[in-house]
Structure 1
Amino acid sequence: MLEGRELSKNEVRRRLENARNRCPEKTSQLGKTLFELGDELNLDIPSSCGRNGECHECVVEIANGIQALNERSDSESFLKEPYRLACQARVVAEQPLVFSPLRRRPKILAAGMKKDNLLLEPMVTRREDRVYYGEKDIDHYRGRLLGIAVDLGTTTIVAELIDLESGQSIERVSFENPQKFGGSDVMHRISYDGGEHRGELTKSLIKGT
């Protein structure tokens, strides 16, 4: 409850996100960019230009403390308050600061092209009361054979739980690809992973899934 009214789910979610993204107040933040602060807070802020203000991907929303930041750069002329580019916004005054990356709502195709006559040789099969992966006996049959299909997109990851015997979809979930901090497309992410940040994209993917 706040000021005599009940908070909506969206308001609660926003407040929790802001709490997670509150900059530490015990140490001096003067001179740091929001990107540098985001690194300290383990925030995944996307960028594909080397943090120089050209790609316009690192948009963050300032929930509190916008007066503590420097003036807008020419690279931010397309933005209005309370939005800034994390690579351009720099702390110039000591005061509480709350910000969060701008989230994009993923668009998922619930159904795509389907071919009923497509035949595939199953890798996981049931033989009496045993389960085989190829020719390897891997488990006791427990009533169902389940598998997970994963569609790894540049923006969104979709995972689907499937009954391997009937082919029926049991459950589908989707979430934002945590690798976005390495760039908005595959080529930028390959370049990012080929430098000093080698392995970070894979780690973020494993952690995110």
Structure 2
Amino acid sequence: MSRKRTAVLISGRGSNMAALVKAAQREDFPARIDLVLSNKADAAGIEFAASHGVPTRVLSHRGYADRQAFDEALDGVLREEGIEIVCLAGFMRLLTPWLVEQWKDRMINVHPSILPSFKGLHTHERALEMGVRVHGCTVHFVRAEMDAGPIILQAVVPIEADDTPDTLAARVLTQEHIIYPRGLELLAAGRLSVVDERVRIADTRPGPAPLIAPTV
């Protein structure tokens, strides 16, 4: 089996990166994590990746005149490493439309809300303030507009009466660690297609269609 060469971009601890690395240790997983890249040298995730035998790079955005220059350098590194799929895992940079277009339908992200609700930051606080009954997370293709790409998978988490942003975030993160590796697996296996900005998942195995929206 030819495994897709995958890069994970991080800026901090990279817990979702860790989930992807662990999933890719399976012999039957169709993607291989060949690079973990951070724009911050002190990102804790760099140490985790190195300890698991994953090549790492640091590319500081501070050394470039603007976002475009940095994204061109980042694209150069990805191509130099022969990367085929890019996963964002807490990469705290707004990507230029140019870079997003270079990796269209080959770059994915996980967001801590049930998109299209609660785009952007502080999703757990906002969900509690709005009084919604359920929250969750979304794996999606990346587009130039923030948190707006075609949805691949979603997981739903019920909101409890005594939830705080921290307790809610912890339960959502558990689901992120489940559906993000699953989303990468589907993409690397060639089971995803985008038609009119909606994702279709091909079921190539016998039996019932796969569960794509785990709940707790």
- For the aligned pair, the TM-score class normalised by the smaller chain equals under 0.3
Normalising by structure 1, what TM-score? Answer: 0.22
Greater fraction of residues in helix: 2
Structure 2 length normalisation: TM-score? 0.21
Greater CA radius of gyration, 1 or 2? 1
